[in-house]
Amino acid sequence: MNLEVRNLSKTYANGVIALKNISLDIPTGMFGLLGPNGAGKTTLMRIVATLLEADSGNIHLGNINIRKEKNRLKKVLSYLPQEFGFYPKARAYDLLDHFAMLKGIKDRKNRKQVIEHLLKRVNLWDVRKQKLGTFSGGMKQRFGIAQALLGNPQLIIVDEPTAGLDPAERNRFHNLLSEIGEDIVVILSTHIVEDVSVLCTNMAVINKGEIVLQEKPLNVLSDLKGRIWEKKIEKMKFSDYEKKYNVISTRLFSGKTFIRIYNEENPDNGFSPCQPALEDGYFYHLNKN
């Protein structure tokens, strides 16, 4: 089951153009939607999740016309927004039990089996009686995934899931997302390039409401091979290099400034060839746009 977005546009009442006639083909599996803050990622995700109405365009999940058949979509959709609230005094098991009933799992024995399976899957079974207000950020995100998996959804939307998580929790969350993204459509909306690099077999980059790239991450890396170069420079000379070269990123390391550029051939002038990273492709297409 694929998700097809065609000619989608959205302008807010204050005149801000959030989406400009975008089209996307999102197959089964993990799909990364990359873009800086304010690029239009959340607007797109909210429209797909039927929480916001588009001005024009069409969206289909298989044979479901999302804009016209919202109730059909809701039966197979789970949405985990960047900011979500839980009752802090509710216990993990009890709240998941409540969500399961809302999802239509009426049989108590069946519901108990489903909840136990999900809480074990997200490694929260041992803290099932603990109040959600005591959970860490990573534990709350894993609980969010547990409730998102209720009802065997065909489409899961996850918006900025690892923002603010420590490295250990990010790793746990990566492993969890990898498991659930094998047989259904999972859209990972993020500005963290590493999340897409680790998890996704397909991706798109959105900037200023427009899709500037849709490709497989491996193909992005292949296209950049032999075209990324790096050099250590004096910080005060950065503007000179920026005028002369296609600078795609800079970084500080041990007090030194390093620049990375895109160039079809060896630029000489002290530049060294680099193994391309997905981040290079991300910045290159943002700058190109």
Shared domain for 204 and 129, answered yes or no, is yes
Res 136: pLDDT: 85
> Is the CB of residue 220 less than 8 Å from the CB of residue 265?
no
Clarify whether residues 165 and 127 are in a common domain: yes
Same domain, 173 and 257: no
Count the neighbouring beta carbons within 10 Å of the beta carbon of residue 14: 5
Q: Enter the pTM of the model.
A: 0.86
Whether 229 and 217 map to the same domain: the answer is no
Contacting residues for 152 by C-beta, under 8 A, at least 6 apart? none
Whether residues 79 and 209 fall in one domain: yes
> 14: domain range?
3-221
Q: Do 253 and 129 lie in a common domain? A: no
Question: What's the pLDDT at 161?
Answer: 75
Q: Could you tell me the two tokens for 153?
A: 């959804």
Pair 104, 211 in one domain? yes
Shared-domain flag, residues 153 and 272 = no
Look at residues 162, 193, 221 and tell me which one is the last residue of a structural domain: 221
- Per-residue confidence (pLDDT) for residue 289, from 0 to 100: 67
DSSP state of 227: -
Does 181 lie in the same domain as 246? no
- What is the per-residue pLDDT for 50? 93
Q: How many CB atoms lie within 10 A of CB 230?
A: 18
Distance set, CA 286 to CA 16, 26, 37, 231 (Å): 20, 21, 13, 21
My answer on whether 169 and 151 are in the same domain is yes
What does the alpha-carbon distance between residue 139 and residue 172 come to, in Å, rounded to a whole number? 10
**Any alpha helices (H) in the chain, and if so which ranges?**
41-48, 70-74, 92-102, 108-121, 137-148, 167-180, 193-199, 217-224, 238-244, 278-288
Phi and psi angles of residue 284, each rounded to the nearest 5 degrees, phi first: -60, -45
CATH code, 124: 3.40.50.300
Residues pairing with 253 in the sheet? 256
Instruction: Give residue 154's identity as a one-letter amino acid code.
Output: Q
Is residue 87 located within the same domain as residue 228? Answer: no
Pull the structure tokens for residue 253. Answer: 């390391």
What pLDDT is stored for residue 280 in this prediction?
Answer: 95
- Provide the edge-to-edge strand list for the sheet that holds 202-207: 77-80, 155-159, 185-190, 29-34, 202-207, 210-215
My answer on whether 259 and 144 are in the same domain is no
Number of domains in the chain: 2
Of 39, 87, 78, which Cα lies nearest the Cα of 185? 78
Which of residues 221, 249, 266 is at a domain's end? 221
Give the pLDDT of the chain (289 residues) as one tens digit per residue: 899 999 999 999 999 999 999 999 999 999 999 999 889 998 999 999 999 999 999 999 999 999 999 999 988 999 887 666 678 889 999 999 999 998 888 999 999 999 999 999 888 999 999 999 999 888 888 888 888 888 889 999 988 777 777 788 778 777 877 877 778 899 998 888 988 998 899 999 999 999 999 999 999 999 999 999 999 998 889 999 999 999 999 988 887 899 999 999 999 999 999 999 999 999 999 988 6
